[in-house]
Amino acid sequence: MSVEALTAKYISMAERVLSELKRTETPITLTEESVADVLRWAVDYLEDAKYYKAQDKLETSLTSVAYCEGLLDALRLLGAVKFEWPTNQEKKLS
pLDDT at 93: 67
CATH number for the domain harbouring residue 23: 1.20.1270.90
pLDDT digits (tens, 9 = 90+) for 28-47: 889 999 999 999 999 999 99
Query: Which contacts of 3-9 are long-range, i.e. CB under 8 A and separated by 24 or more positions?
Result: 3/59, 6/59, 6/60, 6/63
pLDDT at 88: 62
pLDDT at 90: 62
Nearest residue to 69 (alpha-carbon basis) of 91, 88, 90:
88
Instruction: Please report, as a single letter, which amino acid is at residue 27.
Output: P
* Residue numbers of the chain with a pLDDT score lower than 50: none
Residues in the chain: 94
Q: Is 73 domain-assigned?
A: yes
Whole domain around residue 34: which residue ranges? 3-85
Q: How many independent structural domains does the chain possess?
A: 1
pLDDT at 92: 66
